[in-house]
Amino acid sequence: MSSHAFVLYMVAIKPFQTSGINWYVLANETFYSTLIIAMFIFSDATPELNIKFGAAVALIAALILIVFANLLTNIVYMIRGKEKLKNDIRAQKKKRSE
């Protein structure tokens, strides 16, 4: 529940300095929420095998997406470097003040 609340907060407020970081955290949180729901359904919540199978697929997909989002962000920031991140922050600040 707290995770879902944080997703809503992220969408409404966008608390980070650049849109890239906001999207990254939002993606992480969304996949994490999906993972938690899928985990609960996959466990002893229901005896229905079909539902469990669907939850398992969602669980594995969410897990892969979390890893992918983190890897992608790391690679992108590594390639772009510190200076470009600083430029992004400056541009975003300017945009917000306007």
Partner 1 sequence: MPIYNFRFIPYLYDAFKPALVSHMIIFDETPIYNGMDDEYFNKNYKNYWLSVGRLSQAFFFYLVFLVIIIIFNIVFFVLSKCPVGTKNMKEWVSKKLTQFKFNVYIRFYMLIYFDTTFFAVMKIFEGNNSTTNRKVALLFSYVVFVINIVLPVVLVVLIYRRFDILKIKTAKQSFNTLLLRIDKNSKTRVVVPAYFFLRRCLTACLLTMSIENTFIFL
> Which positions touch partner 1 (CB under 8 A)?
1-3, 6, 9, 13-18, 21, 39-40, 42-45, 92, 96
In whole angstroms, the minimum distance from the beta carbon of 59 to partner 1 comes to 10
Q: Which amino acid is at 81?
A: G
Q: Sign of torsion, CA 44 47 49 55?
A: negative
CB of 18 or CB of 70, closer to partner 1: 18
In whole angstroms, the minimum distance from the beta carbon of 76 to partner 1 comes to 14
Q: How many CB atoms lie within 10 A of CB 55?
A: 20
In whole angstroms, the minimum distance from the beta carbon of 1 to partner 1 comes to 6
Q: How many CB atoms lie within 10 A of CB 40?
A: 13
CB of 9 or CB of 68, closer to partner 1: 9
Specify whether the CB–CB gap between 31 and 65 falls below 8 A.
yes
